[in-house]
Amino acid sequence: MGDATLTISCKNYSSWSLRGWLLTRFSGLPFTEKIISPDDPVMRAELLLLSSSFLVPCLSHNGIEVWDTLAIGEYLNEIKPAALLLPEDRVKRTRCRSINGEMHSGFGPMRSALPMNLNGDFPDFKVWTRAQADIDRITEIWRDCLDLYGGPFLLGERSMADAMYAPVVTRFLTYHVKLDDICGAYCRTIMAMPEMIEWIDAAKQEPENVEELEVEF
Ligand SMILES: N[C@@H](CCC(=O)N[C@@H](CS)C(=O)NCC(=O)O)C(=O)O
């Protein structure tokens, strides 16, 4: 399958890096992880050569550069179809793409009010109304999918959608968002994935985090 490198940034804060990394791990494609510091100008210049969007994650594989999480997921699904990042069944696959798209392009208020911070713990966090509306929509998506497909993952079997929503799970835990039993059980399923455990352990090893990064990231 050739050489693959996934460029990401810090593990504690970078929710898109987590999504891209989970997708690559789920696909089974062997890869080297390259961590860039968002503050390092040399690294940023190098990133610009890979990802014209200037953003991570970015996957380099056999001379092909893929940036943007949705494109990375679609690419991995093409080269590793047996990993079933997208379900085989068309109806499920369509649902998967729809909820991936909704996560990718939406929920701005929730993302900026509750930034991913794996080492954070905010028990008395006050969720403002617009962020709560996003939370309500996300939990509705989860309940619908878990009811339709029987869990434990959103489309039944683990898929791209679980990578897309994994950083939301961590946010709900970090900010002590109140959840019903169904959504609580889904959060436990995601947090128990060996890939999540590995990523969170690595986030704990990162040097002290920079305060200015505690914004939407
Ligand atoms: N739509 C992009 C979003 C990627 C994104 O926003 N990445 C952030 C990190 S989580 C980034 O690269 N920030 C770099 C910077 O701000 O310098 C995707 O799906 O990959």
The CATH number of whichever domain residue 15 belongs to comes to 3.40.30.10
CB 80 within 8 A of CB 28: yes
Regarding whether 135 and 106 lie in a shared domain, the answer is yes
182 CA to centre of ligand 1 in angstroms? 30
117 is a domain residue:
yes
114 is a domain residue:
yes
Regarding whether 44 and 127 lie in a shared domain, the answer is no
215 is a domain residue:
no
Q: Which residues contact 193 (CB under 8 A, 6 or more apart)?
A: 158, 162, 166
Instruction: List the CATH number of the domain containing 163.
Output: 1.20.1050.10
Distances (CA, A) of 191 to 72, 186, 187, 201: 22, 9, 6, 12
Boundary (domain end) residue, out of 28, 62, 83: 83
Separation between Cα atoms, residue 126 and residue 104, nearest integer Å: 24
217 CA to centre of ligand 1 in angstroms? 7
205 is a domain residue:
no
Q: Which of 6, 11, 16, 104 to mutate to test the pocket of ligand 1 (most atoms within 8 A of CB)?
A: 16
Regarding whether 98 and 74 lie in a shared domain, the answer is no
Regarding whether 94 and 57 lie in a shared domain, the answer is no
Please state the domain count of the chain.
2
Confidence check: pLDDT of 162 > 60: yes
Q: Of ligand 1's atoms, which has the minimum distance to the CA of residue 38?
A: 17
Regarding whether 172 and 114 lie in a shared domain, the answer is yes
Regarding whether 168 and 124 lie in a shared domain, the answer is yes
209 is a domain residue:
no
Regarding whether 78 and 38 lie in a shared domain, the answer is yes
The percentage of residues in the chain with a pLDDT greater than 90, rounded to a whole number, is: 84
Q: Which tops the pLDDT comparison, 38 or 8? A: 8
Regarding whether 69 and 137 lie in a shared domain, the answer is no
State if residue 17 touches ligand 1 by the CB under 6 angstroms criterion.
Answer: yes
206 is a domain residue:
no
Regarding whether 76 and 11 lie in a shared domain, the answer is yes
41 is a domain residue:
yes
Regarding whether 166 and 146 lie in a shared domain, the answer is yes
Q: What is the pLDDT of residue 6?
A: 98
208 is a domain residue:
no
42 CA to centre of ligand 1 in angstroms? 17
pLDDT by residue (tens digit) across 53-110? 778 999 999 999 999 999 999 999 999 999 999 999 999 999 999 999 999 999 999 9
Regarding whether 62 and 163 lie in a shared domain, the answer is no
User: Treating both helix axes as pointing N-terminal to C-terminal, what angle do 90-105 and 129-149 enclose, rounded to 10 degrees?
Assistant: 170
pLDDT band at 212 (very low <50, low <70, confident <90, very high): very low
Domain, as residue range, for 61: 4-83
Regarding whether 98 and 79 lie in a shared domain, the answer is no
Cis peptide before 152 (omega within 30 of 0): yes
Residue closest by Cα to atom 2 of ligand 1: 68
